[in-house]
Structure 1
Amino acid sequence: MQNRLVLTVTVDREDALRYTPAGLPVVEMWLKHQSRQSAGGFERDVACDIQAVWVGEEAKKRAGKLAGQVMNVTGFLSQRSLRNPRLVLNIEYVEFVKG
Structure 2
Amino acid sequence: MNRLVLAAQVQEQGTTRYTPAGLPAVDLTLLSESEVVQDGHPRMVRLDIRAVAIGQQVCAQVRSLSLEARKTFTGFLAPSRNGKGLVFHITDIHD
**How far apart, CA to CA, are the structure 2 residues paired with 1:39 and 1:75?**
24
Contact residue 16 and residue 64 of structure 1 kept, 8 A: no
Note the alpha carbon deviations across 1:33-77, whole angstroms, 9 max, x for none: 000001111110010000000111123324544322211011111
Q: Which residue of 2 aligns with 1:57?
A: 56
TM value normalised by structure 2: 0.88
TM value normalised by structure 1: 0.85
**How far apart, CA to CA, are the structure 1 residues paired with 2:90 and 2:84?**
18
What 5-or-longer segments of structure 1 have no aligned partner? none
Note the alpha carbon deviations across 1:7-34, whole angstroms, 9 max, x for none: 1000001110010011011010000000
Contact residue 25 and residue 59 of structure 1 kept, 8 A: no
RMSD: 1.4
**How far apart, CA to CA, are the structure 2 residues paired with 1:22 and 1:72?**
27
| Alignment CA distance shift 1:88-1:45 (3 Å) | same
How high is the sequence identity, in percent, across the aligned residues?
35
| Alignment CA distance shift 1:79-1:41 (3 Å) | same
Q: Which residue of 2 aligns with 1:25?
A: 24
What 5-or-longer segments of structure 2 have no aligned partner? none
**How far apart, CA to CA, are the structure 1 residues paired with 2:29 and 2:45?**
17
Q: Which residue of 1 aligns with 2:69?
A: 69
Q: Which residue of 2 aligns with 1:12?
A: 11
